[in-house]
A and B are shown apart, each in its own frame.
Chain A
Amino acid sequence: MRWLIKDARLLDPDHGVDRVADLLIEKGKIAKIGMGLSVEGDHEVVEAAGMVLSPSFIDIHVHLREPGREYAETIESGVRAAAAGGFSAVACMPNTDPPLDNHAMVHYVIDQALKYGPVEVMPIGCITRGRAGERLAEFGEMVDAGAVGVSDDGDPVSDSSLMRRALEYAQQFDIPIFTHPEDRTLSRNGVMNEGVVSTRLGLKGIPKQAEEIGIARDIELTALTSGRLHVLHVSSAGGVELVRRAKERGLNVTAETAPHYLALTDESLAGYDTNRKMNPPLRTSVDREALRRGVAEGVLDVIATDHAPHPVHEKEAEFDSAPFGVLGLETALGVLITHCVRPGHLTLETVIERLTAGPSRVLGRELAGIREGQKASLTLFAPDESWVVDPGRLHSISRNTAFGQERLFGVVKALFLGEEMIPSEQGSSSQDRPATMVP
């Protein structure tokens, strides 16, 4: 199949591409880029005026729940959600049941994913066996099987000595340690950010220092070991500053935040909405401002969704007992455009960079990008079209989006991956003008 995408804004900040042009995909590769391209023979034309064509998005932080909690999400539903959100690759966290702490489990996830199409699933293995925080898992075997990193995400590695060994041992395999930074003795029993809002709501707070102490410790251990650290889900202004200083010291540290932290604050918990309960929790507007600046300045390398499905029957509960976590894959682009790009906090170029080249760097991969001769791995979206998030229509098995019923700008139209084109029905339910795709 040949695809001729006409008049799209080609946006690949990593390779300095930002212009309106036509792009031809042939035999799974970007065959040609130019103005007024026309081709002979069998091909399909995509009229993409007003749309953006960027490298496909990569999410290095998702929870796919398989094996063990298939009632919340499966690898199959997870990759469909990813494609609908414009993501061609997702790194899945190992807090499944049983956890991904050995090569057989890593193989299993990769093999499963291959059945469900071209979206790549990149397993992250456990740091410790059984995620018990006691003994190192076999990094080498897991990397050989295809793991792209290790993490005990969901829990911190509380034992500093063990974390030190992990940062040392991982160097042999050239993988990052994905750290979930949290001082559990400080966050214990907390369910939201600690501050005036938690006091008003009568909920137990989690001080931002619980995260910052975790980040500070792991940065110092990275200095001690010359290791490679990726800080997951930075949610606080202090966290951004710690990462900034670590980078200034020349340490091998990268960091991410998630769309919900860039969009919302703890004020939005006034109605005890459990679909806005996650860990780390939504913080204050000061933190949100610092996170936006951290993304703009590149202190935060990556925007990752921390896609964390939970079934309705678990989220439909009093705030204290509902599990932490929110969906992210299908709303990421819309949330970022609506809450960050349109109000002028971030440029679209920055957002795209943090969804594409940023995560590639963390994984030590080169981004194919928008260049002739490269394999086609592209996301087409309409930044000025809008849709209303209907939780019932998401591809995820779960419904726990923090943005239900919200009108989001930024509609994903399709993913082009090699020989395949995966259309996204995002926004097709709303009253807006229909997709302008042909055929």
Chain B
Amino acid sequence: MKLARKHLLGMEGVSRTEIETLLNCAETFKEILDRKIPKVPSLRGLTAVNLFFEPSTRTRVSFELAEKRLSADSVSISASTSSSEKGESLIDTIHNVEAMKVDFLIVRHSAAGAPHFLASRCDVSVINAGDGCHEHPTQALLDLFTIRQHFPTLEGLKVAILGDIAHSRVARSNIWALRTMGAQVTLCAPRTLLPPGIEDLGAKIHPRLDDLIDEMDIIMVLRIQKERQGESFLPSSREYARHFSLTRSRADRMKTNSFIMHPGPINRGIEMAPEVADGPRSVILDQVTNGVAVRMAVLYLLAGGETDHAMAN
């Protein structure tokens, strides 16, 4: 199977077949990663630039590893070293990067739509590594991949996304992806952290965690940023934790064979108790491991690779 697209800008509009192709391909790469020498020559001669206008060690390192495992040449430019701080515009940065003749641009930016801006203006394959409050498609793919390791199908699975939905690109990408794959998505958050019209994306809203916790197969916990208190989205993180934190006693009420996820980094003690994050239901470290395989699949398929040949390389 091949993927008929040049960019991965979001999960909105990505079909079930495409998602399955990506996840199946990631399975293949997962096996390769378990080998003694976890490296294939698939992208030899191609160049990837990881352009991070916002710090994110986890995502950047995951992409860098994926690129190296595929034998691509890669460069990472982070906001502290790029020219954006000197007032150079995004468009100038891009022209410079394009002049270096690269094949992939992996972009993390605080402004929604920044990857779309780049994709429409340069002849490079663009992967969105997180844009503002918009999307973070590779995170959603690695979340689906992780879920698939525990459940035979995503169809009908009950998934709750818990926390700051309004400011979360992970939430949006996951809602699109999970809905496309047939899962039922429930959003659980105080009303101030739910963006308007989010139900129209196909998710249900439930304001009380205690009422739904024993029905869920998966609970995805999102990070609560401390600055949300200053902006009056929340009176205090203490009060938030009281109603929405995944505490030990709440986690104990979850179904057998249910799992807890978190895109990281965790604010331990706020959205989730430390012993829950490290507990038996947590698949948080699997998410990190799977990130590399999933990003390899994305790079490989966007470069025109075929699933059936991924192994043969």
Interface of A toward B, CB cutoff 8 Å? 194-205, 271-272, 313, 316-321
- Prevailing SS type, chain A contact patch: loop
Instruction: List, in ascending order, chain B residues with CB within 8 A of A197's CB.
Output: 197
Cβ contact within 8 Å between B117 and A272: yes
Instruction: List, in ascending order, chain A residues with CB within 8 A of B117's CB.
Output: 272, 317-319
CB distance from B282 to the nearest CB of A (A): 28
Convert B172-215 into 0s and 1s, putting 1 for each residue whose CB lies closer than 8 angstroms to a CB of A.
10000000000000000000000111101100000000000000
CB distance from B179 to the nearest CB of A (A): 13
Instruction: List, in ascending order, chain B residues with CB within 8 A of A317's CB.
Output: 89-91, 117
**Interface assignment of B135: CB less than 8 Å from any CB of chain A:** yes
**Separation of A197 and B112 alpha carbons in the complex (Å):** 13
Which among B90, B111, B133 has the highest number of chain A CB atoms within 10 Å?
A: B111
**Separation of A321 and B116 alpha carbons in the complex (Å):** 15
Cβ contact within 8 Å between A318 and B111: yes
CB distance from B232 to the nearest CB of A (A): 11
Instruction: List, in ascending order, chain A residues with CB within 8 A of B89's CB.
Output: 313, 316-317
8 Å CB contact of A199 from B111, B113, B120, B198: B198
Cβ contact within 8 Å between B113 and A319: yes
Q: Which 10 A-B pairs have the closest CB atoms?
A: A202-B134, A196-B197, A272-B113, A318-B111, A202-B112, A202-B133, A199-B195, A320-B111, A196-B200, A318-B114
**Interface assignment of B132: CB less than 8 Å from any CB of chain A:** yes
**Separation of A198 and B134 alpha carbons in the complex (Å):** 9
Cβ contact within 8 Å between B196 and A271: no
Cβ contact within 8 Å between A202 and B91: no
Cβ contact within 8 Å between A199 and B197: yes
Instruction: List, in ascending order, chain B residues with CB within 8 A of A200's CB.
Output: 12, 172, 201
Q: Which of the four size classes fits the interface of chain B?
A: 20 to 34
**Separation of A194 and B194 alpha carbons in the complex (Å):** 13
Instruction: List, in ascending order, chain A residues with CB within 8 A of B133's CB.
Output: 202-204
Instruction: List, in ascending order, chain A residues with CB within 8 A of B111's CB.
Output: 318-321
**Separation of A205 and B132 alpha carbons in the complex (Å):** 13
Cβ contact within 8 Å between B90 and A201: no
Interface of B toward A, CB cutoff 8 Å? 12, 89-91, 109-114, 116-117, 120, 131-135, 169, 172, 195-198, 200-201
**Separation of A221 and B110 alpha carbons in the complex (Å):** 41
- Given contacts A319-B111, A321-B111, is CB(A202)–CB(B116) below 8 Å? no
- A to B CB contacts below 8 Å, 20 in the list: A194-B196, A195-B196, A196-B200, A199-B172, A200-B172, A201-B134, A202-B113, A202-B132, A202-B133, A204-B133, A205-B196, A271-B120, A272-B113, A272-B117, A313-B91, A316-B91, A319-B112, A319-B117, A320-B132, A321-B111
CB distance from A113 to the nearest CB of B (A): 33
Instruction: List, in ascending order, chain B residues with CB within 8 A of A196's CB.
Output: 196-198, 200-201
**Separation of A320 and B114 alpha carbons in the complex (Å):** 9
**Separation of A318 and B120 alpha carbons in the complex (Å):** 12
Instruction: List, in ascending order, chain B residues with CB within 8 A of A316's CB.
Output: 89, 91
If A202-B113, A316-B91, A318-B111 are given as contacts, then 10 extra A-B residue pairs at C-beta distance below 8 Å, sorted by A number, are A195-B196, A195-B197, A200-B172, A202-B133, A203-B133, A204-B133, A271-B120, A313-B91, A317-B91, A319-B112
CB distance from B81 to the nearest CB of A (A): 20
**Separation of A321 and B89 alpha carbons in the complex (Å):** 10
Instruction: List, in ascending order, chain A residues with CB within 8 A of B200's CB.
Output: 196, 199
- Given contacts A194-B196, A202-B172, A313-B89, is CB(A271)–CB(B116) below 8 Å? yes
**Separation of A271 and B12 alpha carbons in the complex (Å):** 13
**Separation of A160 and B200 alpha carbons in the complex (Å):** 38
Cβ contact within 8 Å between A202 and B131: yes
CB distance from A275 to the nearest CB of B (A): 12
Instruction: List, in ascending order, chain A residues with CB within 8 A of B198's CB.
Output: 196, 199
CB distance from B160 to the nearest CB of A (A): 19
